[in-house]
Amino acid sequence: MVDYSKWKNIEISDDEDETHPNIDTPSLFRWRHQARIERMEEWKKQLEEHEKKKTVHIKKETDVKNKIAEAEKAGSGDLGDLKQQLKELEKKWKELEAEEEEIKKKEKLTPWNVDTISQPGFAKTVINKKPPKPKEEHLSEEEREKRMKKFIKENEKALKHFGMLRKYDDSRQYLKQHQQLVCEDTANYLVIWCINLEMEEKHELMQHVAHQTICMQYILELAKQLDYDPRACVDAFFAKIQVAEPEYKKSFEDELEQFKQRIRKRAAEKIEEALKELEEEEKQKRLGPGGLDPVEVFESLPEELKKCFESQDIQLLQDTIAKMDEQDAKYHMKRCVDSGLWVPDANKKSSDEAGDAGASTTKEESQTSSES
């Protein structure tokens, strides 16, 4: 059933039945209309002041809640005062709610007039539409890598700028201006950057970029949960994190701390892998003619043979080999030859080379004498 009661009390300035013959009717209508406009302006001002009070109160309450969360995390002793402030703010909020109820009640009882009746209900029609998700691309690993390289090449300056931002409002504004950054490729780039910073021992900078990485990952996760385009979730995430409940804030901080631990672990692994690769390269360079490492072979030698090589005493080496078991001696000397620790007949080769050079010289001298 339609409720027509709202039409019972309407204030109209041109109701001629209420005027007296001796009163200037147009002047009376103008006066009534002006008085009504002034009342409406005062009412509007009252509403605006009430909204301002609510906004200021919400900000104060949010600040106190954040301070309580920080104090609990730090184990500070100021919790009693902060909780007392929060109780007072909650009491003040109830008063504001009561005041708002009173305002609504007065608004409902206010008579309609020609100015309010003639106002349009809607200035425009807005249909809320779910933002479409970007189309999923089924790419191979090679295609993904190619796309990632292209994305970084086109946006590296913007990516680094976002990674260095510190305030939530700045991050929100920057992402809204550079919507192409709200994607999985940005999160991947920031993760790689964090690992490189940790490997370079830029620990503080790594922790800062890690914070921006988790912000991006939270936006992407929110988009998955809502089945939205991630670009449509930027405002929602930053609005939520800035007025977050202690539980939500703690969840974010825990995720950030775990991420930094994973970064430190991965950076340590990559450093270890790099050292192993370097060690392997050096080992390959020093391999002997038989493919053995002279350092490893030397470490495996018996102590008496080690002394021979350390002193470079050939006679001592010959005497030591003569005293050893024949099979052991052959085994160790073969390994020494294959690793380049021992070059067989090195002196003989040198003598032969010297002899060949001497013979050649003698022959030339003979030829010269005969010619003379």
* 277 lies in the same domain as 312: no
Does residue 346 carry a pLDDT above 60?
no
Q: What is the pLDDT, as a whole number, of residue 116?
A: 54
341: Cβ–Cβ under 8 A, 6 or more apart, which residues?
288, 294, 297, 298, 309
Give the pLDDT of residue 78: 63
236 and 337 both lie in a single domain: no
Q: What is the CA radius of gyration of the chain?
A: 44
Identify the weakest region by mean pLDDT among 46-50, 66-70, 336-340, 351-355. Answer: 351-355
Does pLDDT of 188 surpass 50?
A: yes
Instruction: Please indicate, yes or no, whether residues 205 and 276 belong to a single structural domain of this protein.
Output: yes
Could you tell me if 212 and 317 lie in one domain? no
Strand partners, 11: 113
Measured between alpha carbons, how far apart are the two ends of the chain, in Å? 145
* Residue 11, φ and ψ in degrees, nearest 5: -100, 115
Q: Binning pLDDT at 50, 70 and 90, where does residue 227 land?
A: confident
Taking a C-beta distance cutoff of 8 angstroms, is the pair 321, 329 a contact?
yes
Cα 222 from Cα 216, distance rounded (Å): 10
pLDDT (tens digit per residue) in 52-80: 888 888 888 888 777 777 777 776 656 77
Provide the 3-class DSSP secondary structure of residue 11: strand
Same domain as 348, residue 239? no
Q: What is the DSSP string of 178-235?
A: -GGGSSHHHHHHHHHHHHHHHHTT-HHHHHHHHHHHHHHHHHHHHHHHHT--GGGGHH
* pLDDT score, position 359: 40
Element (H, E) at 10: strand 10-11
Which of 109-118, 214-223, 349-358 is predicted with the least confidence, judged by mean pLDDT? 349-358
The answer to whether residue 121 is domain-embedded is no
- Of 176-185, 190-199, 319-328, the one with minimum mean pLDDT is 319-328
DSSP state letter for 6: G
Is 308 part of any domain?
Answer: yes
Task: Work out the percent of the chain whose per-residue pLDDT is above 70.
Answer: 73
In a domain, 27, yes or no: yes
For the cut 70, the answer to whether the pLDDT of residue 212 exceeds it is: yes
Helices (H), 200-342: 203-226, 234-242, 246-285, 294-300, 303-311, 314-323, 326-339
Both tokens assigned to 213 = 């990485």
In this predicted structure, the answer to whether residue 92 has a pLDDT above a threshold of 80 is yes
Quickly state the pLDDT bin for 115 (edges 50, 70, 90): low
In a domain, 40, yes or no: yes
In a domain, 231, yes or no: yes
Look up the CATH number of the domain holding residue 261: 1.20.58.610
Residue 318 lies inside a defined structural domain of this protein: yes
- 40 has which bridge partners? none
The pLDDT of 313-319, averaged and rounded, is 81
Report the C-alpha gap between 195 and 181 in whole angstroms: 20
The two structure tokens encoding residue 232? 């449509």
Which neighbouring-strand residues pair with 10? 112
The answer on 100 and 14 residing in a single domain is yes
Looking at the structure, tell me whether residues 259 and 310 fall in a common domain.
Answer: no
C-alpha to C-alpha distance for 205 and 148, rounded to whole angstroms:
23
pLDDT digits (tens, 9 = 90+) for 292-304: 888 888 888 888 8
Q: Read off the pLDDT band of 9 (50, 70, 90).
A: low
Report whether pLDDT(362) > 50.
no
Q: Which two tokens stand for residue 13?
A: 């300035």
Per the model's pLDDT, the better-predicted residue between 118 and 200 turns out to be 200
Residue 177 CB partners (closer than 8 Å, separation 6+): none
d(CA 164, CA 252): 19
Res 304: pLDDT? 84
Residue 350 confidence (pLDDT): 45
Confidence tier at 332 by pLDDT (50, 70, 90): confident
Residue 224 in tokens: 């998955």
Give domain status of residue 65, yes or no: yes
Query: Which is more confident, 324 or 12?
Result: 324
Using CA of residue 304, residue 305, residue 307, residue 308, what is the dihedral sign? positive
* Amino acid identity, position 139: L
The predicted model gives 351-362 an average pLDDT of: 42
Are 59 and 165 in the same domain? no
- Residue where one domain finishes, among candidates 116, 151, 178: 116
Q: CA angle at residue 308 from 306 to 310, to 5 degrees?
A: 70
Residues 191 and 212 in one domain: yes
User: Which structural domain, as residue segments, surrounds residue 83?
Assistant: 7-116
In a domain, 307, yes or no: yes
For residue range 152-170, list pLDDT tens digits in order: 999 999 999 999 998 999 9
pLDDT range class, residue 369, cuts 50, 70, 90: very low
The string over 290-314, giving b where at least 16 C-beta atoms fall within 10 Å of a residue's C-beta and e elsewhere, is eebbbeebbeebeeebeebbeeeee
∠82-90-57 over CA atoms, to 5°? 90
Looking at the fold, whether 304 and 325 belong to one and the same domain comes out as yes
Between 179 and 142, the more confident residue is 179
User: 150 and 268 share a domain?
Assistant: yes
Residue type, 238: F
Rounded CA-CA distance 40/234 in Å is 38
Residues 311 and 228 in one domain: no
The CB density around residue 213, as the number of other CB atoms within 10 Å, is 25
Total number of domains constituting the chain: 3
**What's the pLDDT score for residue 360?**
44
